[in-house]
Amino acid sequence: MMERLTQNLIDNGVKATPGDGSIHAYMKVEGDELIFTIENSGDPLPEDLLQWINNSKTVSGLLTKRPAKPGLGPVIVQKILLLHKTSLQAYSNNNTNVFTLRKPVYHHTA
């Protein structure tokens, strides 16, 4: 699941980045979390979309706080993330959009 989500973030970042822009991706394990971050230059995300991404932490909140134009894709992705205990955070700063996925690391015990 994480591979597909990270690939979608990269694909969307590439589509939204202007030809003279830049895109960077980072992945690390910190404590008990896998953290994937992607940054791309381009137009800042709308404030209502950022608020929805960062504040939709319950399945009911996904539908009640939905911004005007997200379509069903982001709603479905957020629901999958919630079901897999994975969070998505986003912000825009100086024409750079930053998305961070955080997922608990599975530790196998014998």
3-state secondary structure 42-84: CCCCCHHHHHHHHHCCCHHHHHHCCCCCCCHHHHHHHHHHHHC
Q: How does residue 3 score in pLDDT terms, banded at 50, 70 and 90?
A: confident
Give phi and psi for 75, each to the nearest 5.
-65, -45
Round to whole Å and give the CA distance between 60 and 14: 31
The CATH number given to 2-14+22-104 is 3.30.565.10
pLDDT confidence bin for 98, thresholds 50/70/90: very high
Q: What are the residue ranges spanned by the domains of the chain? A: 2-14+22-104
Q: What is the pTM of this model?
A: 0.77
Of 79, 75, 52, the residue nearest 65 (C-alpha): 52
Taking only the tens place, the pLDDT of each residue in 53-81 is: 887 666 555 555 666 665 656 667 777 78
